[in-house]
Amino acid sequence: MTETSAQALLRVEHLTMAYGAHVALNDVTLEVWPGEVHGLLGEDGAGKTTLMKIIGGYIPAGSYRGEMTLAGQPLAPKSIKEGLQSRVALAPRLLAVFEHMSVADNVTMASSELRRRFSLSRGQVNAQAAAVLHQWQIAIPLSARVTELSPMQRRQLMIANALAIDPLLVVLDEPLAGMSDGHSISGVMRLIRRMAERGIACLCLARRPVDATLVADRISVLRDGEIVGSWPRADYDEGALAAAMASQRAYDPDRAARHPDFGERAGLRGWFKWGGH
């Protein structure tokens, strides 16, 4: 993490977003620094996914109040494409790779959307994908069958797709979800640390304190749409974090049916459409 930099890479200021009468985000202010892995910890429904969608352009500017800047410049994407053009990449939680496509096509999905896929030959796609995998030390052969990849490799493939656009900021939604053994967790964590070491700002969403403490340099807790505290690594206490994130709202069994932030997130196909919703 490089807080000696002149400014935060991402600055979110007084962000408020509502779904009808339900306030998903309430006056959220957050900073992520170049080379920092910042954990955003919260229960399901706390507003994490809403924030990710706003940052990446899935929820278009104009649908919320507040301001964002990226590297000192206004960030107000009206679509995923505009988010990618601003060098913001998203990596969803679900292990949603395209099994009918090659490894190379999966790696270059986002970058090809920016420059129009039909403008690249098969050789160019393969060369670009090979360069990304080599640069980030991701050991997935281009010849591998996507259907046969392990959960760790699928997660790495999704992150490689984000890295292929040369991002300033990557938002990772529960990157350790589905990693069932130490080898898989370590493989994903090493890739995230490598990103930070090379100056990329990483915002990692998490709903389990143990996941956040494993990977993050700093943790902010989002509870019921509000930031309630921020902890540096030296002050991590999983019990205190769990208590801070516990919702104060009355139990609502119907909230998953009403609010987009409370259900399963869409796979990659949803993230790359141009429109807002």
- 88-91 sheet: strands from edge to edge: 88-91, 169-173, 201-206, 37-41, 218-223, 226-232
End-to-end CA gap in the chain: 33
Q: Evaluate whether 204 touches 41 at the Cβ level (below 8 Å).
A: no
pLDDT at 243 > cutoff 70: yes
Enumerate the β-bridge partners of residue 250: none
Amino acid in the structure at residue 103: V
- For residue 240, count other CB atoms closer than 10 A to its CB: 14
pLDDT at 273 over 60: no
| Residue 79, CA atoms < 13 Å, CB-side half-sphere | 9
Q: Indicate the SS3 state at residue 203.
A: strand
Contact between 44 and 222 under an 8 Å Cβ cutoff? The reply is: no
Residue 263 to residue 88: CA distance in whole angstroms: 23
93 three-state secondary structure: coil
Q: How many CA atoms lie within 13 A of 249 on its CB side?
A: 17
> DSSP states of 14-64 as a string?
EEEEEETTEEEEEEEEEEE-TT-EEEEE--TTSSHHHHHHHHHTSS-TTSS
Mean pLDDT within 102-126:
83
Q: Identify the three-state secondary structure at position 182.
A: helix
Q: Output the pLDDT for position 211.
A: 94
- Cα separation, 174 vs 92, whole angstroms: 8
Which region among 93-107, 109-123, 227-241 has the lowest average model confidence (pLDDT)?
109-123
Q: How confident is the model over 153-199, as pLDDT tens digits?
A: 999 999 999 999 999 999 999 999 999 899 999 999 999 999 999 99
The answer, yes or no, to whether residue 260 has pLDDT greater than 50, is no
With 0-12 / 13-18 / 19 or more C-beta atoms within 10 angstroms meaning exposed / middle / buried, residue 111 is: buried
Domains of the chain and any CATH numbers: 10-95+166-268 (3.40.50.300)
Q: Assess whether pLDDT exceeds 60 at residue 240.
A: yes
The pLDDT value recorded for residue 264 is 39
Mean pLDDT throughout 38-63?
95
Rg (CA), the chain: 18
> What does pTM read for this prediction?
0.87
Q: What pLDDT band is residue 259 in, cutting at 50, 70 and 90?
A: very low
Average pLDDT, the chain: 88
Q: Taking the mean position of all CA atoms in its chain, how far away is CA 15?
A: 18
Average pLDDT over residues 249-256: 58
